[in-house]
């Protein structure tokens, strides 16, 4: 797992290109590009998630928005309104592709847990973390889109329609899957697939005793390329920390 953890180094890297402070970022993108699997149209996901997606997999070049049912318009706020479930769903979406040899990056989620990602099946050796991309998050995302198979981003500032369109177009052109966690903001460009994490409940706690065992979540799939709206129930995480189908 690679961790770029400075709000100051990231913008400097973008300005510097492949020299000076920007060389690590350029080398990282190049390493990911060389190590990427063959350019198949579909990236496999773990079996429990296949029913959520119109192709049963992530299609290269598509934009997927993952949000909680409580998310709404407004300024950026901590991930809430189902945000914790949304982050877990994004990590679960990365598990299948990274296990198959794809490279992924996650930007703008400083509290992301490496152990939770590993338990969900993410290959940490193929994951690039940028916890604090700063106000140039969209430029850094665009740079990394060139070198990874999947780019997941929680925008540091509410994106304009123009920024959203350009990022989606770049992802299509580079055949990269763009996953957006808008939090309590909105993504102004209609996505190919929208995954909304709704009601959830934990098992394992009873009368103030016990330990959290597993969480049941309801995920609704919509979007302009998703076909008919549908709902599925998942254990996310399941009792072993992974993801399993739930009871509908």
| Domain membership flag for residue 204 | no
pLDDT of 123 strictly over 70: yes
| Domain membership flag for residue 75 | yes
Query: What is the domain count for the chain?
Result: 1
| Domain membership flag for residue 215 | no
| Domain membership flag for residue 218 | no
This prediction's pTM? 0.82
Q: Residue 92's pLDDT is what? A: 96
CB 199 within 8 A of CB 217: yes
| Domain membership flag for residue 217 | no
Tens digit of each residue's pLDDT (9 = 90 or more) over 8-52: 444 444 333 333 434 455 555 555 554 444 457 999 999 999 999
pLDDT of 211 strictly over 80: no
Beta strands in the chain (DSSP E): 2-3, 42-44, 57-59, 63-68, 104-107, 127-130, 150-153, 177-180, 193-206, 209-222, 230-235, 244-245
Which tops the pLDDT comparison, 79 or 230?
230
| Domain membership flag for residue 207 | no
| Domain membership flag for residue 248 | no
Residue 172: domain span = 2-7+25-197
Average per-residue pLDDT in the chain?
A: 81
Tens digit of each residue's pLDDT (9 = 90 or more) over 53-106: 999 999 999 999 999 864 433 333 345 444 678 999 999 999 999 999 999 999
What is the mean predicted confidence (pLDDT) over 159-177? 95
Q: Residue 111 belongs to a domain with what CATH number?
A: 3.40.50.300
Q: Residue 76's pLDDT is what? A: 39
What is the mean predicted confidence (pLDDT) over 216-232? 92
């Amino acid at each position: 797992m690679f961790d770029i953890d400075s709000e100051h180094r990231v913008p400097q890297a973008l300005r510097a290109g492949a020299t000076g402070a920007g060389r690590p970022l350029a080398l990282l993108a190049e390493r990911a590009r060389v190590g990427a699997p063959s350019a198949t149209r579909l990236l496999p996901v773990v079996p429990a998630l296949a029913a959520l997606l119109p192709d049963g997999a992530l299609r290269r070049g598509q934009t997927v928005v993952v949000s909680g049912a409580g998310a709404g318009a407004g300024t950026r706020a901590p991930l809430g309104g189902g945000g914790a479930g949304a982050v877990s769903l994004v990590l679960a979406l990365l598990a299948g592709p990274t296990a198959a040899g794809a490279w992924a990056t996650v930007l703008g989620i400083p509290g992301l847990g490496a152990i939770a990602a590993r338990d969900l099946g993410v290959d940490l050796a193929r994951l690039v973390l940028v916890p604090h991309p700063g106000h140039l998050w969209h430029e850094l995302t665009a740079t990394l889109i060139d070198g990874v198979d999947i780019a997941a981003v929680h925008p540091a500032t509410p994106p304009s329609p123009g920024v959203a369109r350009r990022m989606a177009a770049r992802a299509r052109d580079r055949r990269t899957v763009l996953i957006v966690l808008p939090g309590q903001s909105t993504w102004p460009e209609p996505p190919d697939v929208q995954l909304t994490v709704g009601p959830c409940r934990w098992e394992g706690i009873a009368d103030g005793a016990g330990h959290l065992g597993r969480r049941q979540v309801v995920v609704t799939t919509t979007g302009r390329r998703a076909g008919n709206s549908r709902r599925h129930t998942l254990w996310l995480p399941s009792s072993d920390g992974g993801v399993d189908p739930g009871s509908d």
